[in-house]
Amino acid sequence: MKDQIIRKIFNGFIYIHILHHGQEDWFYGSWMIEELKEHGYNVSPGTLYPILKSMVDEDYLIKEEKNVNGKIRKYYRSTDKGRDLLKELKHNLKELVDEVL
């Protein structure tokens, strides 16, 4: 059960990462998995893609399929709603950091 709690907390961090990078540029799933790995998060495609899908469904990200050397790749980027959410989350995050750290 401890693992489930850790996963939930880490998932929250993953959303913040996604919104952060998504407001800077287009990204694709395997790039994000590598990026998260560099930050110490081991996220499988089976975890990441449902998160991305839910964020597209709820209008925080837009998805575009691009043809890269004959391969269709799905790219993601933040919407205005996603940017607003990140702004809000940053505020919460700062308060949390100020208290906890």
Q: Indicate the residue among 17 and 63 with the shorter CB distance to Zn ion.
A: 17
Minimum gap (Å) between residue 38 Cβ and Zn ion: 8
Q: For residue 28, give the 3-state DSSP assignment.
A: strand
Pairing of strands 61-68, 27-28: unpaired
Q: Indicate the residue among 38 and 65 with the shorter CB distance to Zn ion.
A: 38
Q: Indicate the residue among 17 and 74 with the shorter CB distance to Zn ion.
A: 17
Measured between alpha carbons, how far is 42 from 55 in angstroms, rounded to an integer?
Answer: 20
Bridge partners of 78? 61
Minimum gap (Å) between residue 18 Cβ and Zn ion: 9
Minimum gap (Å) between residue 28 Cβ and Zn ion: 14
Q: Which residue is nearest to Zn ion (CB)?
A: 17
**3-state helix/strand/coil string of 34-99:** HHHHHCCCCCCHHHHHHHHHHHHHCCCEEEEEEEECCEEEEEEEECHHHHHHHHHHHHHHHHHHHH
Minimum gap (Å) between residue 69 Cβ and Zn ion: 26
Q: Which residues contact Zn ion by CB under 5 A? A: 17, 35
Q: Indicate the residue among 29 and 35 with the shorter CB distance to Zn ion.
A: 35
